[in-house]
Amino acid sequence: MSEHTGRLHKLFDSNFLEYTSYVIKERAIPAIEDGLKPVQRRLLQTLHNMDDGRYHKVANVVGETMKLHPHGDASIFAALVNLANKGFLIDRQGNFGNIYTGDQASAARYIECRLSPLALEVMFNKDLTEYVESYDGRTTEPVSLPAKIPLLLLQGAEGIAVGMATRILPHNFRELLQAQIAVLKEQDFEIFPDFPQKGLIDINDYDQGNGKVRCRARIKEKNEKTITITEIPYGTTTTSLIDSIEKAAKSGKIKIMSISDYTAEEVEIEIKLPRNIYAKDTIKALYAFTDCEVPLNTNLTLIRGDFPETSTVDEVLRFNTEKLVDDLTRELEIELSRLSQKLHARLLDQIFIEERLYKEIEEVTTYERVVSTVDESLKPYIKRLEQPVTREDIERLLEIRIKRISRYDIDRQAKEIKAIRKDIKEIKISLQDVVGYTINYLEKILESYGDDFPRLSEITEFSEVKARKVALSNLTVGYNRETGFLGHSIKAENEQNDIVFSCSEYDRLLLIFSSGMYKVVPVPEKLFVGEELEYAAVFEKNVVFNIVYRDGVENLAYVKRFRSPKFILDKEYYLFAPHKRSRILLLLLGEGKHARVSLVPSRRARSNIVEIDFDQFLLKNASAKGKRVSPRVARRVVESTDRVIKERAASNLPGIEPQEDSVAEAEVPLDNGSITDTVEEENKS
């Protein structure tokens, strides 16, 4: 049994490894050499084989490509439409869909395509292309195309394989070629994405193609009640964008009256706003709660040689630039060899005809003697030739027809030889400075095609939109003291004892209990907090809290002031040492607050009332003990007005001297943590 299991494991391991390698190399991950996946490469090669300058029906192109691609016509058609809509290598005729609205292309039998002039110029060279047999052995296909532009970065790519994925964002044509020129000149350069859907992009976290790009729609305020979206983020369509806006409106995160899509050649989405809702605030909410802002995570995984690897934008660009130099060098060397052969042939013809060497063989009877005679007759002219004379050269001379000899034009032949020599000289000069030749080549490409591909996306820096600040207060939180429940599904019944307030789903609630315990929680639907909840409200920074509390151990009242404390979500803290008799006697918010403390009567005391002006006390830590109100027990504490304080001060009645602390205050630091308001950080929390 174990032997069979072991064989089965080996079979699965072997088959899975083959499948994994196939998916990675033959489907999902593009090659660094030409930036193409196999189906794209086969499509372009098929179009090149079919090229006659006219448009071809896409259905025919797909059928021809199936001779090279071992999969169905649907995948080939989808790849062709995707490649054509990128706008660089394929000219289109007919409805190829709409990248803005997400509309599909027409059927393959109704649309046509051909290679673009750019593709014909920079993508093909039979002399530089290595071919292998196709999947059925009936024809050959290229291993990679000799692309002379950094196509991988130009077009971008996305793919999911087994155990890995790639997401390479597209870049601008002009900027890529200018960066290649900078590489050749050993200058610094920076390259950032550029999207066909346009939009605004923040590239601070791009990290050479392995980080994140934030992309926003371009939103214009037509008037205070009308918003227009004219550009959309990469990876979205007007349909998906409108769906996200309607979803946010349905959940109450934003309020809109109507939304209309007028997109045709350009994006135009119009949003009308209801009463009391204004464009300026709604635009911020659109970025916070809809696909008007999307993060694009990038992962520059590619195939180099036979293996996948993760690279960077700089590395890919430098690799493509070095490859371009090598390819142009090979092209020059091949062309030099051809011109040398052509010059050699022209010089042989010139010598053979002008010097009338053909007369030397008029009396020769055998073919071998003819060949040797011509060979001997050419020896005095060897110095005029570019290379030694071979038997093949002599046989070619012997095949010259009398008609050609009789019409031989000495002047035209001399001009042609002179032109060939000039071309050879230019190539040799170019080979001496291949880098300069490559720079000139790139500049010519830029001059010919650069104006056709301007930058579409605007690079900028986004200010962070905090969800809590732009969220609508669409929830009503209630606290029912009788049941002890708090939440947005709870209805308050007693106006005096219960608590009701509005908030958004992104808010945090500060809960303070009469026992002195406090904590910060997310907005709950229904949460049991008990009957001793003293204070509940949306947490706000820098709110001043004024409290008078009873210390359970001493049974004396203390007063203190503090600002909104730092916190860790859902963690319990205490404003004073917990004790079964310790409790908050009075809690007031803000500046200019006063309190009146009624003390247990004493015969020796001039007064049994102490007036407190909270502004006279220093702001301390939330856990500080505070200042003792009196050495006597406090019977009652109520809020009083500034007028009462002044009247009692005029009567020389006692108050608290704030400058002298009768009890040492314990400064206990809180855990250093806080919850931020952005949606992303809240999700992490």
- With beta carbons less than 8 A apart as the criterion, state whether 593 and 644 touch: no
How many CB atoms neighbour CB 672 within 10 A? 7
Do the Cβ atoms of 161 and 181 come closer than 8 Å? no
Q: What pLDDT sits at residue 678?
A: 32
For domain 319-452, give the fold. Topoisomerase; domain 3 (1.10.268)
- What is the per-residue pLDDT for 148? 94
For 356, counting Cβ atoms within 10 Å of its Cβ (0-12 exposed, 13-18 middle, 19+ buried), the class is exposed
- State residue 481's pLDDT score: 87
| Other C-beta atoms lying within 10 Å of the C-beta of residue 52 | 7
Residue with tokens 């509005």: 502
User: What architecture (CATH level 2) is domain 467-684?
Assistant: 6 Propeller (2.120)
Tokens 């490559």, residue located: 438
Domain ranges of the chain: 212-297, 319-452, 467-684
- State pTM to two decimals: 0.75
**Tokens representing 403?**
């008609």
- Which residues of the chain carry a pLDDT beneath 50? 1, 650-652, 657-685
Mutual angle of helices 367-378 and 313-354, in 10-degree steps: 100
Strands (E), 116-236: 131-133, 140-142, 157-160, 165-168, 200-202, 212-216, 218-223, 226-231
pLDDT at 660: 36
Predicted confidence at residue 186, as pLDDT, reads: 92
DSSP annotation string for 365-400 = -SHHHHHHHHHHHHGGGGGGSSS---HHHHHHHHT-
Rounded Cα gap, residues 408 and 566, in angstroms: 100
Q: Is 454 exposed, middle or buried (0-12, 13-18, 19+ CB in 10 A)?
A: exposed
Residues ≥6 apart with Cβ < 8 Å to 62:
73, 76, 77, 80, 108
* CATH entry 3.30.1360.40 includes domain 212-297: yes
* Residues labelled as active-site residues: 110
Q: Which of helix, strand or coil describes residue 535?
A: strand
Closest CA to 50 of 112, 105, 96, 95: 112
Instruction: Name the residue with tokens 């962070």.
Output: 464
Return the pLDDT at 655.
56
Report the C-alpha gap between 535 and 1 in whole angstroms.
Answer: 70
Torsions phi, psi for 565 (to 5 deg): -80, 160
3-state secondary structure of 326: helix
For the four alpha carbons of 614, 615, 618 and 623, in that order, the dihedral sign comes to: positive
The helix (H) or strand (E) run that includes residue 485 is: strand 485-487
Which pLDDT belongs to residue 495?
66
